[in-house]
Structure 1
């Protein structure tokens, strides 16, 4: 798969996922995405403070010995598939520790907690409105 087609698949995946679910689920999902994002960031910052460091990721290209398919001619001149060892690159994701500034992380946590409280109240009213607008059958 080329990089462009992989990128296109990644970009269209959220559109396909958004098309799934009931109208009520779509309404709730679309209108509470910012609250979910802030909540996820708040949990990450609280984890950083509890550990004393943050995690970051980087992409690393490595070599791997594998079997490659090649075509050779047999004694009758026909093309035959053969496998031989070869080196292939692959991309690996590494996690590594990053030092944090505890005072800055605490300020970030306080700001995110305040934002999450405001968005939480809004999300609760949006969920209630979506349930009223798109009632689901209880079965």
Structure 2
């Protein structure tokens, strides 16, 4: 059985557009100007969490059989339609999280590089925020 990813994909693509429509010009500008800084900050938090735990988390999609009640429409001897219920197995996709061992030396180097990158990006992010606030002052 193949997995239908279309609903998830549509939702994933539509959500940022929907949220962007709710943001003010200033908020959109700040979001755009600080994107790389936020990505580096999130990566740093993830690497630091890995170091604190001693392992990383990864996810994989697994196909699991689920027992449920299915309904079938049949015709009886007189030609009338009847609905019968029966137990059946259905395949469902599930996301499974599992631990992955890390090399603390590699994670420490990653953390140190991300700390340096974040420090280098901070002045540019602050300048971008200031520029957005002056270009799109909020009334209120």
Normalising by structure 1, what TM-score? 0.87
Whether 1:136 and 2:101 are equivalent positions in the alignment is no
Unaligned stretches of 5+ in structure 2?
A: none
Q: 2:93 aligns with which of 91, 94, 99?
A: 91
Unaligned stretches of 5+ in structure 1?
A: none
Structure 1 counterpart of 2:124: 122
- Aligned Cα root-mean-square deviation (Å): 2.0
Structure 2 counterpart of 1:14: 16
Structure 2 counterpart of 1:112: 114
Whether 1:65 and 2:105 are equivalent positions in the alignment is no
Structure 1 counterpart of 2:29: 27
CA deviations 1:110-138 (Å, max 9, x no partner) are: 11011111112211111111111111111
CA deviations 1:60-98 (Å, max 9, x no partner) are: 110001122321225652334433221111111111111
CA deviations 1:37-76 (Å, max 9, x no partner) are: 1100000100111111111111111000112232122565
C-alpha distance in 2, partners of 1:72/1:10?
40
For 1:40-55, list aligned pairs within 5 A.
Answer: 40-55=42-57
CA deviations 1:5-34 (Å, max 9, x no partner) are: 643443343333333311111111122111
Q: Secondary structure at the match of 1:64?
A: strand
Normalising by structure 2, what TM-score? 0.86
C-alpha distance in 1, partners of 2:7/2:98?
30
